[in-house]
C-alpha cells in the first residue's frame, strides 16, 4: 500500500459532529494518505446513540477504546466492550448502540479508504433537523454506495442482558 508518513501531532485532524446521532468523530488518517486503501477515524458516541441500520461496500474494523456497545451485524447481535475488535465485512447490514450510560469511543478503520470528512459532513447537513426519512437518507447515500435500511438500534429494542440492566 502506498502509505505516506503521518504523525497525528504534526497535523491538524478534522472533526465532524452530528447531534442527531450523538456522534463526534475525528479523521485520523485521510484516504489520500494511504493511496485510498484505508481511512481511520476516532468516534465518540453519546449514551443510547448509534447509526441507522445501513450497509456500504467498505469493510469496517471497530476497536472499542472506552465503553460498551451492542453491534447488530447481518441480523445477529454481539456485545463489544473496551479492548474488543469487531469486523464488519463490506456489504453487511449493520448498526450499533452505546449501552454504557456515558460517552463511548471507538477507533474505526475503513477499507478501502473513504473521504469520511466529506461523507459525515454531508450526513450532518442531511440530519441538521434530526434523522430524516429513509428515502432522504438513501438519496444522500446513493453517490457513496451507502444504503440505509432502517433506524438506529435503540435501548428499548434490547434485552436487559444486552443493556446490562
Grid coordinates of 157: 429494542
Domains of the chain (ranges; CATH) run: 13-158 (2.60.120.10)
Q: For residue 164, what pLDDT is reported?
A: 80
pLDDT digits (tens, 9 = 90+) for 116-139: 999 999 999 999 999 999 999 999
pLDDT digits (tens, 9 = 90+) for 147-165: 999 999 999 999 988 988 7
**b/e sequence 3-13, b meaning 16+ C-beta within 10 Å:** eeeeeeeeeee
Residue percentage of the chain with pLDDT more than 70: 93
Cβ-contact 42, 62 below 8 angstroms:
no
Grid coordinates of 141: 447515500
Amino acid at each position: 500500500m502506498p502509505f505516506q508518513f503521518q504523525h497525528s501531532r504534526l497535523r491538524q485532524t478534522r472533526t465532524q459532529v452530528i447531534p442527531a446521532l450523538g456522534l463526534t468523530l475525528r479523521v485520523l488518517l485521510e484516504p489520500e494518505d494511504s493511496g485510498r486503501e484505508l481511512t481511520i477515524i476516532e468516534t465518540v458516541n453519546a449514551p443510547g446513540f448509534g447509526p441507522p441500520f445501513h450497509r456500504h461496500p467498505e469493510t469496517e474494523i471497530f476497536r472499542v477504546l472506552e465503553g460498551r456497545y451492542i453491534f447488530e451485524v447481518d441480523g445477529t447481535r454481539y456485545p463489544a466492550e473496551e479492548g474488543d475488535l469487531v469486523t464488519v465485512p463490506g456489504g453487511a447490514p449493520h448498526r450499533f448502540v452505546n449501552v454504557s450510560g456515558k460517552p463511548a469511543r471507538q477507533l474505526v478503520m475503513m477499507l478501502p479508504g473513504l473521504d469520511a470528512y466529506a461523507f459525515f459532513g454531508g450526513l450532518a447537513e442531511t440530519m441538521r433537523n434530526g434523522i430524516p426519512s429513509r428515502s432522504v437518507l438513501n438519496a444522500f447515500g446513493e453517490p457513496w454506495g451507502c444504503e440505509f435500511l432502517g433506524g438506529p438500534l435503540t435501548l428499548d429494542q434490547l434485552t436487559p442482558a444486552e443493556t446490562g440492566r
